[in-house]
With several copies, the nearest count.
Chain A
Amino acid sequence: MERITDQVLDAEILKRETENPACGALIVFEGTVRDHHRGRQVQRMEYTAYKPLAERVLQELEEETKRRFKVAECRITHRVGELAIGEASVVIVVRSAHRGDGFDAAEWAIDTLKQRVPIWKNDFYTDGTRAYQDGVPLSACSSGEHDSAQRGQESHAEQPMRKQD
């Protein structure tokens, strides 16, 4: 399965792809489109990606997640295109021998995905307006720069820029 796709995401496919008899724990994270954002009613969402880079960063993120948390399996897919309320924009599947590692790995993977993967979210509100959500500036190095998992924080507009010159 491609990691960036305009097809409906299916966690069951990733579960089958990662079957592993040595694993006792499976953790699935899905990000789903909410009907509200910062007090405004959302009608639908559009995701776009810069695919050449996004595919590579997702693959590296899978590998780094496995290495960092010593989990056996990690697969990530992200959808692009128009999504309705309730549809999944991202699916992360982790399998591990022990559940603690699996939970840590899945949470780190989604936190880090939000900081590293060139994907953009465009909210379409019920009042007819739309707006790109502000996000996290990419640093010049795609790995290892943004390790802090800032739980629950959706926008990093105030984050100091990494010097790029």
Chain B
Amino acid sequence: MRIEFCGVLQEAVGDEALELSIATPNRVADILEELAERIPALQTHLPRIACAVGDEVIPRSEMVTGDVPLVLLPPVSGG
């Protein structure tokens, strides 16, 4: 499934998005764990990341289908 990265996470990953080969549907928490194993630079960020699908923030306990990207949002600093 497609994972997209925002803000400082693009620096950590070195890209704006990637394809993660993982069984879907799957729990957000498990997807994040899998990601962190493949990209160690993400690990320090994970505790403070929020996850979004479309225009909604979703809890880590939620299942996602993989039909649309899972978007990872680091702490926000707008204004």
A and B associate: yes
Binding site for B on A (CB under 8 A): 31, 47-50, 52-56, 78, 89-90, 110, 113-122, 132-142, 154-157, 161, 164-165
Q: Can you list 29 A-B contacts (CB < 8 A)?
A: A31-B79, A48-B6, A52-B55, A53-B52, A53-B71, A55-B55, A90-B78, A116-B76, A117-B78, A118-B50, A118-B78, A119-B77, A120-B6, A120-B7, A120-B8, A120-B77, A132-B8, A132-B11, A132-B77, A133-B77, A136-B75, A138-B50, A138-B73, A154-B77, A161-B47, A161-B48, A164-B59, A165-B29, A165-B59
Option from B8, B52, B55, B79 in Cβ contact (under 8 Å) with A114: B79
Count of inter-chain pairs, beta carbons less than 8 A: 107
| Best-surrounded residue of A121, A141, A155 (most CB of chain B within 10 A) | A121
Category for how many chain B residues contact A: 20 to 34
Tell me, yes or no, whether B58 is within 8 Å of chain A by CB: yes
- For A52, list chain B residues within 8 Å (CB): 52, 54-55
| CB-based contact B48/A121 at 8 Å | no
Contact partner of B78 (CB less than 8 A), chosen from A119, A140, A165, is: A119
B74 at the interface (CB under 8 A from A): yes
Asked whether, in the complex, the Cβ of B78 is within 8 Å of the Cβ of A120, the reply is: yes
